[in-house]
């Protein structure tokens, strides 16, 4: 879906058009990905947020994206603000800070589609809560595709697809799926038994 590789065995379409028909540059301006392991470069926070952006992106766009990602406050509290160096692979930042910078980088392009691939699974509960708040703000006005195991990440989605062994076995929202005898309800009940914030293991 992020168009990082060519898919030969199926067709993925955006607005009814195969993604292979889009120019890579145009597609990546419209579709942004935030993964479990955010990649930060050794430059500044500013350079990391603006990485790969069009020249038309402004300082205000960057600040707005940082605020949406709940990153603005911690960035401006650092001595050099947006000019703070992240270090190689973001070594100067905590896991939660790196993820929020990655979310800001995804949002500064103002994508039509935002893909979140296990974006909070590697974080502690406090960092996850802050990022969940940010992600709720990010959902306004765009399509958001969330790939996750944690109930807290998906329960507010308009539509949930339950995938088992590579096939969609259920679809609906949280309320409708909880009324069905099926895998979703089993996984939710198992997660609740394991404690709030736990993960589905299969």
Q: What is the extent of the structural domain holding 126?
A: 13-148
Within-domain flag for 4 = no
Give per-residue burial for 121-136: e unless 16+ CB within 10 Å, then b. ebbeeebbebbbebbe
Within-domain flag for 202 = yes
- Is beta strand 113-117 parallel, antiparallel or unpaired with respect to 31-34? parallel
pLDDT tens digits, one per residue of 49-101: 999 887 788 999 999 999 988 899 999 999 999 999 998 878 888 888 998 89
The answer to whether 114 and 145 are in contact (CB under 8 A) is yes
Of 180, 132, 182, which Cα lies nearest the Cα of 157? 132
When computed from its CA atoms, the radius of gyration of the chain, rounded to whole angstroms, is 18
**What is the mean pLDDT of the segment spanning 138-166?**
87
Between residues 123 and 185, the one the model is more confident about: 185
Between residues 78 and 13, the one the model is more confident about: 78
Within-domain flag for 1 = no
pLDDT at 50: 94
Within-domain flag for 138 = yes
Within-domain flag for 97 = yes
pTM of the model: 0.78
> Residue 90's domain is classified under what CATH number?
3.40.50.300
pLDDT band at 138 (very low <50, low <70, confident <90, very high): confident
Residue that is written with structure tokens 């096939």 in the block = 167
Could you report how far apart the first and last alpha carbons of the chain are, in Å?
A: 22
């Amino acid at each position: 879906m992020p168009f990082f590789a060519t898919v030969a065995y199926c067709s993925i379409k955006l607005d009814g058009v195969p993604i292979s028909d889009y120019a890579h540059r145009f597609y990546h301006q419209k579709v942004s990905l935030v993964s479990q392991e955010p990649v930060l470069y050794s430059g500044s926070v500013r350079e990391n947020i603006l990485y790969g952006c069009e020249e038309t992106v402004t300082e205000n766009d960057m600040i707005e994206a940082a605020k949406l990602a709940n990153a603005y406050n911690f960035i401006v509290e650092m001595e050099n603000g947006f000019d703070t160096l992240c270090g190689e692979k973001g070594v100067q930042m905590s896991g939660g800070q790196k993820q929020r910078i990655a979310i800001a980088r995804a949002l500064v392009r103002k994508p039509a589609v935002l893909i979140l691939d296990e974006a909070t699974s590697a974080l502690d509960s406090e960092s996850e809560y802050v990022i969940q708040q940010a992600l709720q703000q990010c959902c306004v006005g765009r399509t958001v595709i969330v790939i996750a195991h944690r109930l807290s990440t998906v329960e507010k989605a308009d539509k949930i697809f339950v995938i088992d062994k590579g096939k969609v076995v259920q679809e609906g929202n949280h309320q409708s799926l909880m009324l069905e005898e099926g895998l979703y309800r089993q996984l939710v009940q198992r997660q609740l038994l394991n404690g709030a914030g736990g993960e589905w293991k299969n």
